[in-house]
Structure 1
Amino acid sequence: MEIRLCTENDLKACSDTYAKVFNEAPWNEAWTAESAFSYLIDFYQTPGFTGIVAVENEEVIGFLFGVKRKWWSGDEFFINEMCVRADQQNKGIGKTLMEYLIETTDADMISLLTDRGLPAENFYKRNGFKEIERIMFMSRDV
């Protein structure tokens, strides 16, 4: 397995992986490869973007996308999206992506949002992340 920085040429494969992962349980969303591509290219084009891909046999099997941004207490790397193909999960790929980020970022902290009660929550906690109880995520329809 190769871990490396994402290039624009990887975006289609990342989009396919994203749609496959998030269309399955526990998320059961309704992504197409095209809608996932539109979603992910926005991150790719954001100043401060870093994408990390896990590649095996020339196929993207997982990735981590995020952006470095300024914060009052130092630079923050915010993870926008991270996923590993279902057939490749529980093999240490997510941990390896995270370790690559930790070793290569010059940010002072790494932050993210994730759903409570899903396997991702425990993954992040096992990898040193802590819940910030005072934070509340809010949304509304328009």
Structure 2
Amino acid sequence: MIFERINADLALKAAAIIVQAYAEPPWNEKWNLDGAATRLLELSNTPGWLGVGALEDRAIRGFAIGHPYTSASGTGLYIPEIAVLPQYQRRGIGTQLLKLLEEEARKCGFKSTWLLSQKEGGAAEYYKACGYKQDQNLRVYARSIR
């Protein structure tokens, strides 16, 4: 497995990973290929975005994408997507992707990385094991506008 920065073309090839990985627990989301490709196009068109991938036989098996998020404390890298094909999970690939993305962010001058995920369960435990902590002051608020 090769871990490296990816360009927008390779990021778009990761759409099938979103469809497959997010169909599994704990997410159980029903993505279609067009929606996943649109998501990756949005992210890879964001100025300053960073993407890393896990490649095997020139095919992408997992990825992590981040983009700049500036606040009063400086510019951090927000990581909206990280996914690995289900048959490649639990092999340390996601952890290596996260570490590589953090290293690339450090090289680009970002001061921190952050992400949103489930507050409990396997995903939360995974991020805690990778050194992420839940913020005690912030919560996600959402509202349907349909």
| TM-score, normalised relative to structure 1 | 0.93
The 3 A distance-change label for structure 1 pair 104 and 11 is closer
2:38 paired with 1:35: no
The one-letter amino acid of 2:94's match is: G
Question: Of 124, 132, 145, which residue of structure 2 is paired with 1:121?
Answer: 124
Equivalent residue letter for 2:131: G
Identity score, percent: 27
What's the counterpart of residue 100 of structure 2?
100
Amino acid at match of 2:33: A
Runs (4+) off by over 6 Å: none
Stretch moving more, 68-77 or 82-91: 68-77
8 A contact 1:3–1:52 mirrored in 2: yes
Q: Find the aligned partners of 1:98 and 1:107 in 2 and give their Cα distance.
A: 14
The one-letter code matched in structure 2 to 1:120 is: A
Query: Which letter maps to 2:120?
Result: G
Instruction: Name whichever of 8-17 and 44-53 sits farther off.
Output: 8-17
Shift of 1:41: 0.6
Residue 50 (structure 1) shift: 0.6
Is contact 1:5–1:50 with CA below 8 Å preserved after alignment?
A: yes
Distance in 2, matches of 1:127 and 1:24, equals 21
Q: CA deviation at 1:126?
A: 0.7
Deviation at 1:15, TM superposition (A): 0.4
In structure 1, the gaps of 5 or more residues are none
Over the aligned positions, Cα root-mean-square deviation in angstroms equals 1.2
8 Å Cα contact 1:64-1:81 kept in structure 2: yes
Look up the match of 1:89. 89
Alpha-carbon distance between aligned partners in 2 of 1:115 and 1:136, rounded to the nearest angstrom: 11
The TM-score normalised by the length of structure 2 is: 0.91
Q: 2:36 & 2:91 partners in 1: Cα distance?
A: 24
